[in-house]
Amino acid sequence: MEKEETQYTYAVARIRVRESSLLSGAFLEQLAAAKSYDECIRLLSEKGWTAGENGTAEEMLACERKKTWDLIRELAGEDISVFDCFLYANDYHNLKAAIREVRADVACPDIYIDQGTMDAGRIRSCVMNGKFGDLPEAMREPAAEALKTLLHTGDGQLSDTMIDRAALDAIYRAGKRSGNGLLAMYGELTVAAADIRITVRAARTGRDKKFLKQALTPCESLNVDRLAAAAANGGEAIASYLVTTDYADAAEALRRSISAFERWCDNLLIRRIRAQKWEPFGVGPLAAYILARENEIKSVRIILYGKQNALPGEWIRERIRETYV
């Protein structure tokens, strides 16, 4: 038996128990049908979801995310670097936040996110003090260049794009480096989905090929040059290109809306990880549980947002993601 299998045998057994408490599609439908935001919070509380001190949706969602990572650390030990590809997005969000603080010259501590691979305060301190050499190697050059770009041009979108590209590179490399099929698939799908989103938005806003060259991250399942070329001819050309790729089914979703495409991507990921429910060993079931939790948190956020803003039930239901269970 491989070392990875024996290492995670107990952890997988524990995850199987926790999977029984994941939210079902039927429960999400019940939540969507609730008469009010307060009723949604009550239903979630009955499921064991924890409200924060102020009872806000974001506090509840942050608490649930923390529960997930506390469990993973308990099961996998303090070294959870195998899951870094799930956490890099938070690191690079915090990097963008720190760069914005420098530009604004106003302290904004509430814009940082916990649960990264490194402490948000450390990222903030490095950027504030110009000590980019104290950041992880992959962050140093993008951080310095993004800050320089923002200070010299005032183009916040371009600065963010540079950091977003670095984040996608980090996620992609971590997935490949893991040697695990599920993590590699996650990296591939994350980058491909981001590239498609960027291209569609660029087509709508008239961004040129130079911008796309800076923004798009190469991956195995898409030809970014062809994708960028399609953008010059609009959304339908992008959809036509996608029909020739692994994302052919995404073309119809894109024709409807970006939100429909986002839902399609999340549902595809859930469908691809469901096989982990029958895997008795390895890191895969733990990774699938993390993604399942993130997916249900995303659906709950959509429902609570809809209730808070009195949006129609149809708007909510067409955005709810498929569930793992």
For the stretch 171-227, pLDDT in tens is 999 999 998 999 999 999 999 999 999 999 999 988 888 889 889 999 999 999 999
Instruction: For residue range 235-252, list pLDDT tens digits in order.
Output: 899 999 999 999 999 999
Of the candidate ranges 67-81, 217-231, 292-306, the one whose mean pLDDT is the lowest: 67-81
Measure the N-to-C terminal CA separation of the chain; round to a whole number of Å: 28
Residue 8: what pLDDT?
86
pLDDT of 105 above 80? no
Q: What's the mean pLDDT when you consider all of the chain?
A: 92
CB 227 within 8 A of CB 221: no
Q: Which positions ≥6 away from 176 have C-beta within 8 Å?
A: 184, 187
CB 180 within 8 A of CB 82: yes
Reading the block at residue 285, the tokens are 């079931």
pLDDT of 6 above 70? no
Instruction: For residue range 58-69, list pLDDT tens digits in order.
Output: 899 999 999 999
Nearest-angstrom CA–CA distance, 316 and 31: 10
Q: Which of 72, 64, 112, 117 is nearest to 295 (CA)?
A: 64
Name the more confident of 6 and 78.
Answer: 78
Its pTM stands at 0.93
Q: Which positions ≥6 away from 308 have C-beta within 8 Å?
A: 37, 57
Reading the block at residue 192, the tokens are 């491909």
Confidence of residue 318 (pLDDT cuts 50, 70, 90): very high
Residue 5: what pLDDT?
55
CB 257 within 8 A of CB 276: no
Instruction: For residue range 106-148, list pLDDT tens digits in order.
Output: 677 778 988 899 999 999 999 999 999 999 999 999 999 999 9
Nearest-5° Cα angle at 278, 273 to 281: 95
Residues 275/281/284/289 CA torsion (nearest 10 deg):
80
